[in-house]
């Protein structure tokens, strides 16, 4: 159990659910079920006994206690206390965000960012940034909902003068991965860490000597096992249907943070003024457009 996480949870009751969510990817299956039940019933669980949580999650009371400890709390009673305090704060703050779809959307993104902030480690950022800073070529791969964060950050790397590619077509991603070699880096973005096309591109890159950096929400995934460096943003225990939009916000910010780490000690591009001219030329002066 991390003493820092326990202290943080004790100091800041409003971060209790974020702390639980941040711990989810690193827990075993039974412990994940325990935390999932606590999060799903966080408004009621302050009144539940350890045995009730164990029954609801299909585990044992010992697993309930262990899951809470591994999530950064002293035990289940500590979780109950923090959630009860959080419920009081939520009540005094006014209507629940879930009552308003717009507010619920914003709150989900806030939760995802807070979870990622607690989960991501500066040491991981530093290691990944070190590889990118010295890379001869960088290829970003991902498909579906992972593509928007990739296309955002690739523009940042291009304007900073990095040799980067980010094809949207999965076959083209395979071709680019095949062309990588020693000293090159493949950055893979995947919510689940189990996307078949993304994994194929990463395997190809590794077979040719390139390093793989993973940005994903799950620490126990095929992509994490394959990668040389991992940035795990965690997940919020909230149904999202087909589109994990809040988690994509966390990936977007994680990639922006990775870019910031990478360029922290890198030389500025020679043609910064030229880059600004490109932006200026794209802006119309026609008031009718």
Give the chain's residues under pLDDT 70: 1-15, 87-99, 235-244, 265-289
Structure tokens given for 284:
């119309």
Structure token digits, residue 202: 């990463």
- How many other CB atoms sit within 10 Å of the CB of residue 110? 15
Q: Is 285 exposed, middle or buried (0-12, 13-18, 19+ CB in 10 A)?
A: exposed
Q: Tell me 70's DSSP state.
A: H
- Give 214's strand partners: 188, 230
Q: How confident is the model at residue 1, as a pLDDT?
A: 40
Sign of CA dihedral 104, 109, 110, 115: positive
Residues with Cβ < 8 Å from 179, sequence gap 6 or more? 137, 208
Could you give the CA distance from residue 143 to residue 162 in angstroms, rounded to a whole number? 22
Tokens of 254: 């994680």
What is the rounded distance in angstroms from the CA atom of residue 174 to the CA atom of residue 159? 24
Q: Is the pTM of this model over 0.85?
A: no
Query: pLDDT digits over 11-54, tens only?
Result: 343 468 888 888 888 888 889 989 988 988 877 787 788 988 99
The four Cα atoms 225, 195, 214, 161 give a dihedral, to 10 degrees, of 150
Residue 2 confidence (pLDDT): 43
Packed helices 29-40 and 16-23: angle between N→C axes, nearest 10 degrees:
150
The neighbouring-strand residues paired with 164 are: 138
Q: What is the predicted pLDDT for the residue at 268?
A: 53
- In tens, the pLDDT along 103-119 reads 888 888 888 888 788 78
């Amino acid at each position: 159990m991390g003493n820092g996480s326990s202290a943080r949870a004790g100091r800041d009751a409003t971060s209790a659910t974020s702390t639980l969510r941040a711990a989810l990817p690193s827990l075993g299956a039974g412990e994940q079920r325990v935390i999932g039940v606590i999060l799903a019933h966080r408004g009621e669980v302050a009144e539940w006994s350890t045995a009730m949580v164990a029954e609801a999650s299909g585990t044992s009371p010992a697993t309930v206690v262990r899951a809470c400890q591994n999530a950064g709390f002293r035990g289940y009673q500590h979780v109950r206390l923090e959630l009860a305090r959080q419920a009081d704060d939520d009540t005094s703050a006014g209507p629940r965000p879930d009552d308003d779809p717009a507010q619920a959307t914003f709150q989900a993104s806030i939760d995802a960012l807070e979870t990622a902030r607690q989960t991501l480690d500066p040491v991981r950022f530093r290691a990944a940034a070190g590889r990118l800073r010295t890379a001869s070529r960088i290829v970003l791969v991902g498909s579906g909902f992972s593509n928007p964060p990739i296309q955002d950050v690739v523009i940042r790397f291009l304007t900073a003068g990095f040799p980067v590619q980010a094809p949207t077509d999965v076959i083209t991603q395979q071709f680019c991965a095949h062309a990588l070699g020693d000293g090159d880096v493949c950055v893979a973005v995947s919510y689940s860490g189990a996307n078949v096309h993304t994994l194929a591109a990463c395997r190809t890159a590794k077979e040719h000597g390139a390093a793989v950096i993973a940005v994903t929400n799950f620490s126990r995934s095929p992509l994490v096992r394959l990668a040389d460096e991992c940035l795990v943003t965690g997940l919020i225990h909230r149904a999202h249907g087909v589109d994990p939009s809040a988690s994509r916000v966390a990936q977007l910010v994680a990639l922006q943070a990775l870019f910031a780490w990478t360029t922290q000690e890198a030389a500025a591009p020679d043609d910064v003024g030229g880059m600004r001219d490109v932006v200026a030329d794209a802006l119309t002066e026609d008031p009718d457009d």
